[in-house]
Structure 1
Amino acid sequence: MDNVKIGTKASWNSIIINILLSLFKLTGAILGKSTAMLADTVHSLADIATTIVVIIGLKVSNKEADEDHPYGHEKFESVFTKIISFLLISTGLSIGYKGINDLIKGSLIVPGKIALMAALASIIVKESLYWYTIIIAKKIKSTSMEADAWHHRSDAISSIGTFIGIFFARRGFKIFDPLAAIVVCIIIVKVGVEYYLKAVNELVDHRASNEIIEQIHSITRSIHGVKEIKSLKTRIFGNKIYADVGISVDKNISIEEGHKIAETVHKNIEENLLDIKHCTVIILPN
């Protein structure tokens, strides 16, 4: 099964689970009269929207190169990651606004027991969804799916805050319910900003990690005939990496021998580093 099918199947599983969970949480929010649970429900509904974005992103970013996009479509995934980050930030701000508004207006109500049960169910389900999604995201190297996984975890964390808020509100500290909604807001916005910045790095040709660069150095130096690495440039292209390597060889060998050395470096880097989409190797003067 290819990466798109694996990611799409996982995303649809997440959508189905989120729909069922959202219905239960909405019931708990309405019957339990909890602002924090209502905010938590909105977060779960946003999860459904972001997972749909992930499905679209996976299909678009894995399309083959064409005449209009000769380098492929990988950067489209970074674009979709930015969309998810915007959804996270806007969701968080809307939740925070309602919590602050309730505090100002003094709309403080003791939540019902069903709201507490819904919060507990959300913690368990959303944390399970995080691990399920992050494992698959790492496997298929999808940044948008990884962002979606953290959306699940942010929902689990927010549900912990919701659970605490409802728990204390039911024990007479009614202010804790809207306060929990504000805490949820801060957590969600933080995650959204982090993934926005990550997507920006992928779109502006940010260099690869030190680990990848060191691996390229190691592979290149291991090739017989390479005297020195004269230059190395890398750039992140969506969820893949392009590398430009400049090497020096013995000036007394033939052009054909030099070409074979460069070709060996090129082949070994691309075969041993799966994150590398393309590696260009040139011979520079000593």
Structure 2
Amino acid sequence: MENYKLGVKTSWITAIINIILAAFKVIAGIIGNSSAMIADGIHTLSDILTTFVVLIGLKISSKEADKDHPYGHEKYESVFAKILSMLLLLTGIFIGYESIKILINGEIKAPKLIALVAALLSILIKEGMYWYTIKVAKKIKSISMEADAWHHRSDAFSSIGTFAGVLGARLGFPALDPIAGIIVSIFVIKVGVDLYIKSVKELVDESASEETIEIIKNKIQFIDGVRGVKELKTRIFGNKIYVDVEIFVDPYITVKEGHDISEIVHDQLEKDIEDIKHCMVHIEPFQES
């Protein structure tokens, strides 16, 4: 619940900042005759939408397990991250389309100074928002919030492209303004594709990292009574891990003694590795080779 509250607080703070910044950038783009700045402002407007999607995802995924969802709701994080990635893709395509249209039509005007100032402010503010959001996302292990953080950074990079385009246009190369918009769109599309792939992997029960698997094996093998690990399976479930492990024990101990060893393994793993939500332990008789 503390993670949920922290995530909600962060999302609301970034949403309010985005509303103010988006309005300023769009107005600056219109007044300053900059197509790149208008596109940049629209990109920031999409950030507001994605932040609200994150808020919905955090609320649902933080719910306790129930009759219809006995394993919990963590996978909703990945579902909403997938939605965010598609929003990024659409944003990138829209920015690119508008910039190409301006370039082809030849309706290019030299931007005014206000567009340059807006781009510089956007770079500083959005990069700060990225670091603030990514820090919280990693702390609470939220993939949808991580996606939102990258949306902030993509906006910062788009503002760098906008700054370069506006500056070049003001120095006598007006075509650089819409060209900057096209470059920005390519970057945004790439980030969207990367996040889409990451969210899909979490929805198809991909195993935990090799490093995590090795940590689990090492912890099991040093527990008294465990003679070895026969098989270990892991699967990512939202921001948590499920573990299924078969361990070897002395074939001549009692059923209760074997059960006690499996309970120790279960409790030790869930205690030592915070990401593990549930561990299923099966015991097998150890056979000398």
Q: Which band: TM-score by shorter chain?
A: over 0.9
Map 1:106-185 onto structure 2 (within 5 A). Answer: 106-185=106-185
Partner of 1:256: 256
SS for the counterpart of 1:283 is strand
**Aligned-pair CA distance for 1:105:** 1.0
The question of whether the paired residues in 1 share the 8 Å contact of 2:250 and 2:285 is answered with no
- Identity of aligned pairs, percent? 59
**Aligned-pair CA distance for 1:284:** 2.0
The question of whether the paired residues in 1 share the 8 Å contact of 2:240 and 2:277 is answered with yes
Residues 188-242 of structure 1: per-residue CA shift (max 9 Å, x gap):
1111111111110111001111121111011101101111100000001111110
Matched residues in 2 for 1:112 and 1:5: separation? 42
Matched residues in 2 for 1:64 and 1:128: separation? 33
SS for the counterpart of 2:223 is coil
SS for the counterpart of 1:284 is strand
The question of whether the paired residues in 1 share the 8 Å contact of 2:219 and 2:269 is answered with yes
Name the count of aligned residue pairs. 286
Matched residues in 1 for 2:204 and 2:107: separation? 46
Partner of 2:91: 91
Matched residues in 1 for 2:213 and 2:126: separation? 36
Partner of 1:38: 38
Matched residues in 1 for 2:281 and 2:33: separation? 64
Map 1:264-279 onto structure 2 (within 5 A). Answer: 264-279=264-279
Matched residues in 2 for 1:125 and 1:268: separation? 44
Residues 176-197 of structure 1: per-residue CA shift (max 9 Å, x gap):
0011001110111111111111
Matched residues in 1 for 2:77 and 2:278: separation? 18
Matched residues in 1 for 2:212 and 2:254: separation? 31
Is 1:78 paired with 2:78?
Answer: yes
Is 1:240 paired with 2:220?
Answer: no
SS for the counterpart of 2:285 is coil
Query: TM-score by structure 2 length?
Result: 0.98
**Aligned-pair CA distance for 1:31:** 0.4
Partner of 2:187: 187
Matched residues in 1 for 2:109 and 2:211: separation? 53
CA RMSD after TM alignment: 0.8
**Aligned-pair CA distance for 1:258:** 1.0
Partner of 2:68: 68
Matched residues in 2 for 1:261 and 1:111: separation? 72
Matched residues in 2 for 1:231 and 1:121: separation? 54
**Aligned-pair CA distance for 1:285:** 3.4
- The amino acid across from 1:90 in the alignment is L
Matched residues in 2 for 1:33 and 1:279: separation? 60
Residues 246-273 of structure 1: per-residue CA shift (max 9 Å, x gap):
1001111111111111111111110011
Map 1:21-36 onto structure 2 (within 5 A). Answer: 21-36=21-36
- The amino acid across from 1:223 in the alignment is I
Partner of 2:282: 282
The runs of 5 or more residues in structure 2 that have no matched partner are none
Matched residues in 1 for 2:284 and 2:165: separation? 65
